[in-house]
Amino acid sequence: MLIIRKEQIEAFEQVALKNFENEMFAYLEKNFPKNCEIHGETKTREIIRYGIEDAEVHGFTSERDVCMYINLMLMLGHCFYKDPQLPWASAIFNDENISPSIKIDRIYDKAMAYLDQVAGVNDENIKRALHRIRGK
């Protein structure tokens, strides 16, 4: 009979966690290059670890859900789920009648619609605001 000790399981978990962190870092470098450039590798990895821990506290445990949670943190802010400017996020986040995976999907869909509305087609609203700031 094969016996796996608690220490061995913990070692496997740490390796899996480090692998996920590395994959997430590569993903963020590709999809959020400005954030990674601004924060640098050390801080970006801290953000990833914080996101993993915070996601788990809120019931998001699959790699997919945690990845989406970290994406939302970067797009909307690390406490997006209690931001008074995003009441739709907290409403979905606090709905106890839906599973964490459905919750994260709904928040993500709403976030993308919100960001499209705020930024406009091809970021036209952002460009317009920048032109106004520059006085053009």
Give the tens place of pLDDT for each residue, 44-102.
999 999 999 999 999 999 999 999 999 999 999 989 999 999 999 999 999 999 999 99
Can you give the pLDDT at residue 132?
A: 64
- pTM passes above 0.85: no
**Better-scored residue on pLDDT, 53 or 115:** 53
Q: Judge whether residue 136 has pLDDT over 60.
A: no
Average pLDDT over residues 105-127: 80
Can you give the pLDDT at residue 95?
A: 94
Q: Is 33 left (phi over 0), alpha (psi -120 to 50) or beta?
A: alpha
The encoded tokens of residue 23 equal 């994959």
